[in-house]
Amino acid sequence: MEKLSDNEVLELVHSDPAAAAQNRYIVHRVNTSRDIGDRNQYKAWVYLAPALILLLIFSFYPLINTFRMALLNGYTSDGFTTAYQVGFRNFKTVVNFVDFKQCLKNTVLLCVITVPISTTLALLIAVALNSIKPLQRMFQTIFFLPYVTNAIAIGMVFKVVFNRVAVGDLVQTEAVINRFIGLFGADPVNFVNVGSSWGANMFVVCTYIVWNALPFKILVLLGGLQNVNKQYYEAAKIDSTSKIRTFFRITIPLVSPMLAYVIITSFIGGFKEYSSIVGIFGETMGPAGSEGQMNTIVGFVYKMLPYWKTGVASAASLILFGIILIVTAINGLVSKRTVHY
Amino acid sequence: MTDDNNKTIINDTAAASPLNVPDELDVGAAARRQKVFKVVRYLITYLFLTVMALIVIFPFYWMVISSLKTMEEYRANVPTLWPHKLFFQNFATAFSQANLKDLFLHTLLVGTISTVLSLIVTVLSAFAFARLQFKGKNVVFGLLMATMMVPGELYTITNYLTVSGKLPFISQPISALDITHTFTVLIVPMLVSVFYIYLLRQTFLQIPNELYLAAKVDGTSDFKYLWKVMLPLSVSTIITITILKMMGAWNAYIWPRLVANDEAHQLITNGLRGASFILPNNETNYPAQMAAVAIVSVPLFLVFVFLRKYIMRGVSRSGIKG
């Protein structure tokens, strides 16, 4: 098309709008014409204003303020201000806190234990689901069931599953789980009641987290598997490659992007673990008598808030942020090397 | 020469074919063996899936049967796998004990208002990011996306101070600003979700630009175009956002627990966690508690059964729950 002046373009547009809309050249000219661009400048900001104002108050300002509070030695929000000194004392306070060490240990262990288990189980289930035809939809529905649940409510159910009814030391009703492991000759374990050990509590929390994490992972991995080109498997079949070899040499490399995604998100989620433990143990974050035994970093932050120890809470939340950034970076580096395509 | 050779080969094979019988038998045996392997593999697969499915279902099953047991049966020496007598009284107890009716109403109110307001904010900004040209668009969008990386706890601390009237830069707490224990504070700080903006922007971007320009030359205003063309074309994403937001209100624990844990403003999750099911003899009435948990879980199940595809759409792209 020959070059047109802006006026000619406008004329064309007005004489036959439908045709003009079909015409790429004209569309391009209209699109880039300064007329529309300039008018949209302020209009766009009007459209964005509600979101931006809310984000400024409730996201960007808090972000800056968290750094500020964390870096003012001994900062509290209890009322009168003394001049605070800038420094890292809040961070030192957090790190030297006995409670915090327990929280950090719990959080890290929860991640390290649950992420590999739930990812492996989810991968196996997804592969199994992908290999069957009859009943596939039924199994899918069942495995997605835990997805839409209330973390607190189902945590309370897990508590009941592991709970024993006892009067003093005399166990009246053994937990249903203990009944079950009793079938295999194991001794009953005090999982969540008074005097239960840290390890037993950890087992319950990990079981719950794995149970809760499965549906999302199965969903993503199954989606990945279903998109894998069938030709790879047919080629493997012709070469009479064993099933196990096919799994490690074809399936895993082809779903590696989904695996990486699932692992990163569950690490991030794991470091922010809080609600599931509140669901099981309540806000004491541990069985009666050993409160705080199962506390996590997020739990530590929220424990500081009602006492207005916001400087310490901010420092702890920044440590959490730092951990998450480091883990994400490591995951990114590792998956760059191992994720195929 | 070659022809002759070929002939001999053909003749040879023809002649040799009766002698190949044992080989054929072997092939048959191998096929059978393979078939057995296949059956075994299927058996193992189904067995594995069944065991895992039972584990996944077990908590739900235990919740339901526990909620139907009498306290005596719950305390029985051997836990029963099915209640002798279905004791529906627990549900009435749960309703009164946990004040479930009020909790439902509060959650419905907060959920509905925040969903509507949040949709308005989301639609407007997604439209600006998808269609309008302005300076700094990429910078602003990048900033918004970056906030998704930050754990929510970082925001919560300051937001808690803000709504309690303890503004950090002002020396004295301003009691007039203390708006904790109201519904406003449950709704407003959580209105903007960058993830929803992102999700809707992606949907908007799929609508061809030509449509917008055709509307422009027809003299349609931006807002009318957004309302009449873009929204109807993006209904499924809007539904996804609505469901996720409502489920968010239903499952929210931390923020409601911090700012509205009084009886007049509790939402369903912190209300449920805070509810006391202690019997006069200092025992916890677990059957009633399980009944309350079951009641709270029912709406989620209904959403799951009827609206699953909308949830899956949003979910598989985020890893965000609720």
Residue B214 to chain A, least CA–CA distance (Å): 5
Separation of alpha carbons A135 and B268, rounded Å: 36
Q: Is A9 contained in some domain?
A: no
Q: How high is the pLDDT of residue B6?
A: 45
- Within a domain: residue B36? yes
d(CA A20, CA B201): 26
Q: Which residue of B has its CA nearest to A168?
A: B283
Based on the fold, state whether residues B19 and B145 are members of the same structural domain. Answer: no
Chain centroid offset of residue A225 CA: 22
Which helix (DSSP H) or strand (DSSP E) does residue A173 occupy?
A: strand A170-173
Q: CB B322: neighbour CB atoms within 10 A?
A: 20
A170: β partners: A167
Same domain, B275 and B190: yes
Cβ contacts of A146 on chain B, cutoff 8 Å: 56
Q: How far apart are alpha carbons A96 and A94 in whole angstroms?
A: 6
> Range with the lowest mean pLDDT among B20-24, B160-164, B213-217?
B20-24
At A170, is the secondary structure helix, strand, or coil?
strand
Q: Find the largest Cα–Cα distance for chain B.
A: 110
Report CB contact under 8 Å: A62, B155: yes
Say yes or no: B266 contacts chain A, CB-CB below 8 A: no
Q: Residue A49: CB partners within 8 Å, gap ≥ 6? A: none
Reply yes or no on whether the pLDDT at B17 is more than 90: no
Alpha-carbon distance A156 to nearest alpha carbon in chain B (angstroms): 8
Measure B264 CA to nearest chain A CA, in Å: 20
d(CA A133, CA A44): 51
**What DSSP character marks residue A86?**
B
Number of domains in chain B: 2
Stretch 93-152 of chain A: residues touching chain B, C-beta under 8 Å: 121, 124-125, 128-129, 131-132, 135, 139, 142-152
Tokens 């109403």 belong to: B105
| Contact assignment for A129 to B49 by CB distance below 8 Å | yes
In a domain, B76, yes or no: no
Question: What is the tens place of the pLDDT at every residue in B85-115?
Answer: 888 888 998 888 888 999 999 999 999 999 9
Interface test with chain A among B43, B49, B100, B229, by most A beta carbons within 10 Å = B49
Report the alpha-carbon distance of residue A193 to residue A174 in Å, rounded.
Answer: 11
Q: 88-147 in B: which are within 8 Å (CB) of A?
A: 120-122, 124-125, 127-129, 132-135, 137, 140, 143-144, 147
- Assess if residue A238 is contained within a domain: yes
Q: Is A334 part of the contact surface with chain B (CB cutoff 8 Å)?
A: no
Closest CA to A251 of A67, A116, A127: A127
Indicate whether B16 pLDDT > 50.
no
Mean pLDDT, chain B, rounded, equals 83
Q: Which CATH number is B258's domain given? A: 1.10.3720.10
Hey, are the CB atoms on A145 and B78 less than 8 Å from each other? no
Name the closest residue on chain A to residue B64, using Cα atoms.
A157
Is B40 within 8 Å of chain A by CB? no
Q: Domain of A97: which CATH number?
A: 1.10.3720.10
Instruction: Say how far apart CA A186 and CA A184 lie, in whole Å.
Output: 6
Whether residues A321 and B150 touch (CB distance < 8 A) is answered with yes
Same domain, B56 and B95: no
Please indicate whether, in this complex, the C-beta atoms of B45 and A132 are within 8 angstroms of each other.
Answer: yes
B296-312: average pLDDT: 86
- Cβ A66 vs Cβ B158: under 8 Å: yes
If one counts the domains in chain A, the total is: 1
**Cβ pair A149:B297 closer than 8 A:** yes
- Residue span of the structural domain in which A304 resides: 91-338
In angstroms, rounded to a whole number, what is the distance separating the alpha carbons of residues B176 and B189? Answer: 18
Token pair, residue B117, equals 């307001």
Burial of A240 (0-12, 13-18, 19+ CB in 10 A): exposed
DSSP A80: P
CA distances from B20 to A185, B24, B32 (A): 57, 6, 19
Does B134 fall in a domain? yes
Sign of the alpha-carbon torsion through A182, A185, A191, A194: positive
Judgement on whether residues B145 and B265 belong to the same structural domain of the protein: yes
Residue B84 covered by a domain: no
Cα R_g (chain B), whole angstroms: 32
Question: Is residue A59 assigned to a domain?
Answer: no
Domain check: are B109 and B148 in the same one? yes
Contact call for residues B258 and B235 (beta carbons, < 8 A): no
Specify whether B96 is located in the same domain as B8: no
pLDDT at A231: 84
- Which of B140, B153, B175 has the most A C-beta neighbours within 10 Å, making it the best mutation to test the interface with A? B153
Buried b (16+ CB within 10 A) or exposed e, B142-154: eebeebeebbbbb
Contact list, A279 vs chain B (CB under 8 Å): 273
**DSSP assignment of A135-162:** THHHHHHHHHGGGG--HHHHHHHHHHHH
Phi and psi (nearest 5°) for A170? -85, 115
- Sort out which chain A residues have CB atoms less than 8 A from B46's CB and list them: 132, 135
Is the CB of B258 less than 8 angstroms away from the CB of A176? no
**Is A12 contained in some domain?**
no
Domain assignment of residue B157, given as a range = 91-315
pLDDT of residue A173: 77
Q: How far is CA A258 from CA A120, A228, A330, in A?
A: 13, 12, 17
Whole-angstrom distance, CA of residue B38 vs CA of residue B45: 10
The verdict on B181 and B32 lying in the same domain is no
Residue B140 has pLDDT above 90, yes or no: yes
Cα–Cα dist A69/A78, whole Å: 13
Same domain, B170 and B309: yes
The pair of structure tokens assigned to A259 is: 């695996």
In this predicted structure, what is the pLDDT of residue B317? 57
Q: What is the distance in angstroms between the Cα of B212 and the nearest Cα belonging to chain A?
A: 9
Sequence-distant (6+) residues with CB within 8 A of B261 are: B270, B274
In order, the DSSP letters of B277-320 are: -B-TTS-B-HHHHHHHHHHHHHHHHHHHHHHHHHHHHHHTTT--
**What pLDDT was estimated at residue B118?**
96
Sign of the torsion angle spanned by Cα atoms A92, A97, A99, A105: positive
The one-character DSSP state at B80 is: -
**Counting one residue from A and one from B, how many pairs have CB atoms under 8 Å apart?**
284
Tell me how close the Cα of A337 comes to any Cα of chain B, in angstroms. 23
B278 and B143 within one domain: yes
The verdict on a CB contact (< 8 Å) between A145 and B121 is no
CB of B308 within 8 Å of a chain A CB? The answer is yes
> Which of chain A's residues have a Cβ under 8 Å away from the Cβ of B74?
165, 173
Clarify whether residues B291 and B194 are in a common domain. Answer: yes
Which of B18, B33, B67 marks a domain boundary? B67
Token look-up 């971007």 returns B205
B313 touching chain A per CB within 8 A: no
| Residue A174 to residue A163: CA distance in whole angstroms | 8
Residue A253 located in a structural domain = yes
Residue A85 lies in a domain: no
Residues 216-255 of B with CB under 8 A from A: 216-218, 222, 247, 250-251, 253-254
- pLDDT at B18 exceeding the cut of 60: no
Nearest to B214 among A14, A17, A156 (CB): A17
Euclidean distance between CA atoms B164 and B171, whole angstroms: 14
CA atoms within 13 Å, Cβ hemisphere of B99 = 20
What is the signed CA dihedral for B64, B68, B69, B70, rounded to 10 degrees? 150
**CA closest to A76 among chain B residues:** B168
pLDDT (tens, 9 = 90+) of chain A, 341 residues, equals 445 555 565 566 666 666 666 666 655 555 554 445 555 678 889 999 999 999 999 999 999 999 999 998 888 877 666 678 888 888 998 988 888 999 999 999 999 999 999 999 999 999 999 988 889 989 998 998 888 889 999 999 999 999 887 766 677 777 888 888 888 888 888 888 888 899 999 999 999 999 999 999 998 899 888 888 788 888 888 888 888 888 888 888 888 888 988 998 899 999 999 999 999 998 889 888 888 899 999 999 998 887 888 889 999 999 999 999 998 888 888 877 776 65
Helices B100-131, B286-315: axis angle to 10 degrees equals 10
* Paired tokens of B143: 């900033």
Same domain, B128 and B271: yes
Q: What is the pTM of this model?
A: 0.84
Rounded to a whole number of angstroms, the distance from the CA of A203 to the nearest CA of chain B is 15
3-state secondary structure of B36: helix
Residues B307 and B217 occupy one common structural domain: yes
* Rg from Cα positions in chain A: 28
- Yes or no: say if A56 and B147 are a contact pair by the CB < 8 Å rule: no
HSE value, Cβ hemisphere, 13 Å, CA-based, for A320: 34
Q: What is d(CA A202, CA A98) in angstroms, rounded to the nearest whole number?
A: 19
Q: Is residue A30 part of a domain?
A: no
The answer to whether residue A22 is domain-embedded is no
Cα-based distances in Å from A91 to A74, A86, A107, B152, B222? 10, 12, 18, 19, 50
pLDDT attached to residue A314 = 93
- CB spacing of B124 vs A308 below 8 angstroms: no
Distance CA(A121)–CA(A210), nearest Å, equals: 9
Please report the pLDDT score of residue B194 as a whole number: 92
Q: Does B75 fall in a domain?
A: no
